[in-house]
Amino acid sequence: MVSSICWQIATKNLEPYVLSPHIEERIYNGFPGPADEARIAAFHDARWEDRFAIVQRIEDERLRWFGLRLIYFEARSVLPEPARVEVERYLTEQMAGDGSGCLTFDQAMAETERELGEAAGSDDLLVHYRSFLQDRRARFDAYRATLMA
């Protein structure tokens, strides 16, 4: 009873906590329950072909997305087409986004240009990296157009 009253007093004037729209920034917003902990252990012990079924049963949205992304990056051929496309849409939106969740192409290019401007002399590594980013961005934009069509 006393602890409940203390909690009410302590939190009375606090601003409500707004969850980030980015899964990566919500990693510390709580802990998985015992059922999800068991599913996580089963996920890591399972073959890639069996992991998607386990991920679908995970209740915690954060863990479900991390599991999907892990399968996508390590064995995307085992993902059903709709799940693969869902992950690709999420990742492409992040890379083209406003930069509030991860490094975007625009941010990477701006940082590369800034570094090149500050470099004393020619920095071949940064010049090659800028070319890589430009090529990757063109391929990304083309692929993103097919996803959004």
Sorted by where each begins, the domain ranges of the chain are 99-149
Q: What is the pLDDT of residue 45?
A: 97
Average confidence score pLDDT of the chain: 85
Rounded-to-integer distance, Cα 109 and Cα 116, Å: 10
Give the pTM. Answer: 0.70
Q: What is the pLDDT of residue 102?
A: 78
| φ and ψ at residue 138, rounded to 5 degrees | -65, -45
Rounded-to-integer distance, Cα 80 and Cα 85, Å: 9
Low-confidence ranges of the chain (pLDDT < 70): 1-17, 20-22, 25, 99-101, 121
Rounded-to-integer distance, Cα 80 and Cα 101, Å: 26
Q: What is the pLDDT of residue 94?
A: 81
Q: Which helix (H) or strand (E) holds 148?
A: helix 124-148
Going from the C-alpha of 146 to that of each of 29, 98, 122, 138, 141, the distances in angstroms are 34, 21, 37, 13, 9
Q: What is the pLDDT of residue 1?
A: 56
